[in-house]
Structure 1
Amino acid sequence: MKHTETDTSTQSVKKLSCFLADSEDLVKEAQALRYRIFAKEMGARLKTESEGLDYDEIDEYCDHLIVYDNIHRKIVGYTRLLGQDQARRLGRFYSQEEFELDQVLALPGRFLEIGRTCVDPDYRGSAVLTTLWSALAQYASAGRFDYLLGCASITPGPSGYAVDAVYRHFDARNMAPPGLQVKPTVPVPEELRCGRDESGIPPLLKAYLRFGALVCGEPYWDKDFNCMDVFILLPLEQLQERYSKHYLRGAQTKEAVSVFA
């Protein structure tokens, strides 16, 4: 897929660009970033650990959206995108491995799943996530998707997984109605839950909620990735509306954003 870059910077070199990885080398670099975040930082047990990469059979069906630091020449942000047509060829969405999604997938419209979202630790709190989300909104609009779906992780704190504390932070407007509640295939074991509020809502999940995403029930226990996954559903008309209000103001960050065509 072609991309063009809108330069909102007065500098001769744009610091950040966001585009679909268009070479095997870029995809492998993104998989190496995923490995550093999920295996080294979060403690995930990966079958591909010996290669220093995080990949699975789903990757070949996905588009890989990367944020690239043009000055230091490296990938600093990432998410993978699995559209409805790609999922049909694969035979499933990744989330269907963790949740029973029949009620959600019965909704009229087209679905886009995002996953493996991560940001280089040295770039957290910068414009990377803003750049990634603005490009994602454009990708979703170009593909005429109606819903964004995926999982957001709750990682362990000093006393365990603060699942209950995180859920207490959710606004009632962010909780899905009964007809859109999903069931995890592996519920969180009671002995791993703790009620202490140690870290608040994780940043990625907080971003979903800010855009109006729905939390669709109890989380899934992902033993391999050492985390609890919360299933979220976001009507993309809300993302487009909030994107236009919030991220179009991102021009003030003076970063480059890709426009997909």
Structure 2
Amino acid sequence: MTAQPIRSVQQARRLITEVTRDPARIREAQELRYRVFSEEYGCDLGAVEPGLDADQFDSRCDHLMVSDSSTGTLVATTRILRSADAALAGGFYSEGEFDLSTLLNNTGNVAELGRTCVHPDYRNGATIGLLWATLAGWLDQHKVDQIIGCASIGMSDGGHRAWRIARHLQDRYLSDNEFRVQPRRALPHLMHTSHENRPVEDIPALLRAYMRLGAKVCGEPCWDPEFRCADLLVMLQVSQLAARYNRHFMRQPA
């Protein structure tokens, strides 16, 4: 069933949000994702069609979009895959990177969040807060209990930063045992550990947002050779989202 567009407007910031499965709009999301991800991870993402970050999950997902109403430009996007649609797609995207069997046996209605990106010129509280507000409305509408998703850390330094951040997050935000996952491609362990004692100040923005909203890290990182990054599987209890969203995003400046 095609999702009905859900729209809201924030006039002061000229941002419009919608949730859609329209193929033309999905293509815009794929173009934005490619521009952002290829630059940040320094690779072509294994793109089948040049300039597009696309896979078999896109047509099964609801896509959350934030656009600048003054130009019509798409400035932020993420996608959500419901359990029923995941079954039609052959599973969740993250099942290609992690064994989720233990986690899925201990959760209620699960949805997967993925491919979240924001145009560099719009990386501010207004854009990110509006994206999360739209997500919160979608989760309430579909009675979702938990959201899961892969959050990436670049490995341009060979993996030292990824291990340092992963260890820091595991120390502070590790999930209970019943929600642990196992990576299908373990991140290679490093022989040199001189970077481990450096302060952890460069956690990616998406991971910081997840942690502020109460997410848990569900185990060891997975190596994603296509994106040249390390992925952590994170899980967020939706019941905690509303209060934490209000606390961390509603008062942020544009």
TM-score category by the smaller chain?
0.7 to 0.9
| Alignment correspondent of 1:217 | 219
Quote how far apart the aligned CAs of 1:71 are: 1.1
CA RMSD of aligned residues (A): 2.3
| Alignment correspondent of 1:143 | 142
| Alignment correspondent of 1:226 | 228
Provide the C-alpha distance between the structure 2 equivalents of 1:223 and 1:172, rounded to a whole number of angstroms. 25
Q: What amino acid is aligned across from residue 121 of structure 2 in structure 1?
A: D
1:102-141 equivalences in 2 (<5 Å): 102-141=101-140
| Alignment correspondent of 1:60 | 59
Q: What amino acid is aligned across from residue 229 of structure 2 in structure 1?
A: C
Provide the C-alpha distance between the structure 1 equivalents of 2:109 and 2:10, rounded to a whole number of angstroms. 32
1:11-50 equivalences in 2 (<5 Å): 15-48=14-47, 50=49
| CA deviation profile, 1:135-171 (whole Å, cap 9, x unmatched) | 1011001100000101100112546441332134337
Structure 1, unaligned runs of 5 or more: 254-261
Distance 1:47 1:202, change over 3 A: closer
Provide the C-alpha distance between the structure 2 equivalents of 1:2 and 1:50, rounded to a whole number of angstroms. 27
| CA deviation profile, 1:212-240 (whole Å, cap 9, x unmatched) | 11101110000000100000011110112
Structure with the bigger RCO (C-alpha within 8 Å, sep 6+) is 1
| CA deviation profile, 1:50-100 (whole Å, cap 9, x unmatched) | 431110111111111111111121100010110111112223011100001
Structure 2, unaligned runs of 5 or more: none
For these two proteins, the number of residue pairs brought into alignment is 248
* Cα pair 2:21 2:61 within 8 Å, conserved: no
| Alignment correspondent of 2:208 | 206
Identify which range, 120-129 or 101-110, moves more after superposition: 120-129
Provide the C-alpha distance between the structure 2 equivalents of 1:49 and 1:100, rounded to a whole number of angstroms. 26
Distance 1:168 1:8, change over 3 A: same
Q: TM-score, normalised by structure 2?
A: 0.88
* Cα pair 1:174 1:209 within 8 Å, conserved: yes
| Alignment correspondent of 1:258 | none
Q: TM-score, normalised by structure 1?
A: 0.86
1:125-204 equivalences in 2 (<5 Å): 125-158=124-157, 160-170=159-169, 172=171, 174-191=173-190, 195=196, 196-197=198-199, 200-204=202-206
Provide the C-alpha distance between the structure 1 equivalents of 2:116 and 2:53, rounded to a whole number of angstroms. 12
* Cα pair 2:148 2:233 within 8 Å, conserved: yes
1:92-103 equivalences in 2 (<5 Å): 92-103=91-102
Provide the C-alpha distance between the structure 1 equivalents of 2:65 and 2:37, rounded to a whole number of angstroms. 17
Q: Percent identity?
A: 37
Quote how far apart the aligned CAs of 1:126 are: 4.5
* Cα pair 2:166 2:221 within 8 Å, conserved: no
* Cα pair 2:106 2:179 within 8 Å, conserved: no
1:212 match: secondary structure: coil
